[in-house]
Amino acid sequence: MTFVARTWNRLTIPGRVLLGLLLLGGLLTVGLALLIIFSEPILELLGANLPLVRFVAAATAVLLMTIPTAFLIIYMEMKIIALMNLRVGPDRVGPFGSLLSVVHGLKVLMKEDFTPTGADASVFTLAPVVTYLASVMTLLVIPFAPGLFGQDMNIALLYFFAISGLGVVGLLMGGWSSFNKYSLLGGLRSAAQVISYEVPLVLSVVGLLILAGTMSLNQLVLNQAGWFTDWYIWQQPLGFLIFFIAATAEANRTPFDLTEADSEIVAGFATEYSGMRFGFFFFAEYVNVFIVSALTVTLFFGGWNAPFPFPDIGLALDPGSLGIALLILVAVVPLVGILILALPFYLLRSSMPFWQALIIGFVLFNVVAVAAVLGWAFVSLEWVAGLLWFMLKTYSFVFIFVWMRGTLPRVRIDQLMGFAWKWLLPASLLNLFVTAAAVIVVRELRG
């Protein structure tokens, strides 16, 4: 052991990195070789348990997807609000400061995770778990693209509201177990707010359910295929408005962010939290913004449908049929492409050495190649196009949430509670009955 440690200490830093990479490469090679040797029994085993494989893939994909989503939304929030305030915003880490939220995440990971003396340690630890789980488990039913969803349940919408409603338990747990008056008040306030807006939120979509006759989110999206006039927003404008307002309050976003009203109750339920447990509370909050946007898009804006019937231009290309030409293509095209793209820089700017032109050509060629592959995937793979449309719409709504945060002031708590019970709840019931009456009248008129 001492020999290994001494050798390690003698190495320079590049040497250590190189050694690490070599070890990693060796391990990967051995693993790959084992995989190839035992490929047949492994494939057989996987084929026998296909639902299990599908489950593991879906769970891993959804859980890992939340991390870049949260980072992206935090960065969007910092940058867009900065631009709205005529500030520059983050611009030091990475291009346009885009890596700052990653650095924030790493910082939270390395901070001391502290439990105050009077706190109920087990409940204190479980609270962020419950909150995070309540937001992430709803991603299971959201249809991202044709065939790209965790599970197509026939009660998906009810499941969604049931699970996302559990988040309030986490807030209450965090507020109660922190042994802090601010936390307790913050937790109770969040709970009162979330449960008050839960009622109009779930009632606002009933009109849509009457029209659609199904609770499966996948089926709802399929119902809205075609032109953008087929989206439910045109038949349910009031329902959408109520849903959007209630969803903003549900996600604790401005103008309804009384749970973290730092000028009144410090940081609400999160006052005593630090380190990664604090991180998970805010992780959950930003994932919630994404989920609420995704659900709005799914219900009212056609989900992964394009706003118009997209022309079907499938480029049929079978790589196997090219034979030896494929090999030449793969070998020659990058070289020629790099040279062609490097040429204008080399010719037009005589001061530039050729290797700089080559690097520029290489980068440009990669950009072109990635764009070409994405374009090909967009026109010939249904789920890529669907995912792109879905993400485009969802991030438009995320942008609207950020925009509201940059624009609107926070409401007072009595206005907040009164608005939910005195305006939104009657309005959503009105929406329900008007839709039902309209369905009956249309039925009668058509005979």
- Site residues (CB under 8 A) for another protein, limited to 380-419: 413-414, 417-418
Name the nearest CA neighbour of 197 among 247, 240, 255, 138.
Answer: 247
Contact characters 138-157, another protein, x per CB under 8 A:
--x---------xx-x---x
Binds another protein (CB under 8 A): choice among 81, 148, 179, 255: 179
Out of 61, 354, 433, 434, the only residue in the binding site for another protein (CB under 8 A) is 433
- Provide the minimum distance between the beta carbon of 424 and another protein in the complex, in angstroms, as a whole number: 12
Choose which of 32, 33, 63, 121 interacts with another protein (CB under 8 A): 63
Nearer to another protein, 81 or 266 (CB): 266
CB 421 within 8 A of CB 242: no
C-alpha span between 413 and 268 (Å, rounded): 14
Report in angstroms how near the CB of residue 116 gets to another protein at its nearest. 5
Residues 255-284 that bind another protein (CB under 8 A): 266, 271-272, 275-277, 279-280
Biggest alpha carbon–alpha carbon distance for the chain? 91
Return the structure tokens found at 153: 């349940």
Q: Is 446 in the site for another protein (CB under 8 A)?
A: no
Cβ atoms of 128 and 174 within 8 Å: the answer is yes
Residues numbered 2 to 31 that lie near another protein (CB under 8 A) are none
CB nearer to another protein: pick between 63 and 330: 63
90 or 260: CB nearest another protein: 260
Residues 65-124 that bind another protein (CB under 8 A): 108-114, 116-118
Determine the Cα–Cα distance for residues 87 and 81; give it in Å rounded to an integer.
Answer: 8
Of 154, 126, 122, 123, residue with least CA distance to 141? 154
Site for another protein in 315-374 (CB under 8 A): none
**73, 100, 184, 246: residue in contact with another protein (rule CB under 8 A):** 184
Return the exposure string of 230-254: e unless at least 16 CB atoms fall within 10 Å of the residue's CB, then b. ebbbebbeebbbbbbbbbbbbbbbb
Near another protein by CB under 8 A: residue from 185, 238, 379, 411: 185
Does residue 183 belong to the site contacting another protein (CB under 8 A)? yes
Site membership for another protein, residue 248 (CB under 8 A): no
Q: Is 46 in the site for another protein (CB under 8 A)?
A: no
* Contacts within 8 Å (CB) and 24+ apart, 376-380: 376/315, 376/317, 379/313, 379/314, 379/315, 380/313, 380/314, 380/315, 380/316, 380/317
- What DSSP letter does each residue of 319-368 carry, written as one string? GGGGTHHHHHHHHHHHHHHHHHHHHHHHHH-TTS-HHHHHHHHHHHHHHH
Q: How far is the CB of 98 from another protein (least distance, A)?
A: 23
- Out of 144, 176, 243, 390, the only residue in the binding site for another protein (CB under 8 A) is 176
What's the CA dihedral at 158, 164, 169, 170 to 10 degrees?
Answer: 160
CB of 73 to another protein, least distance (A): 18
How far is it, in rounded angstroms, from Cα 287 to Cα 68?
Answer: 10
Task: Please name the amino acid found at residue 213.
Answer: G
| Minimal distance, residue 299 CB to another protein, in Å | 13
Task: Decide: is 48 part of the binding site for another protein (CB under 8 A).
Answer: no
Min separation Cβ 106 and another protein, Å: 10
With respect to another protein, which residue has the nearer C-beta, 125 or 356? Answer: 125
If one asks whether residue 223 binds another protein (CB under 8 A), the answer comes out as: no
Could you identify the residue written with the tokens 């030409």? 325
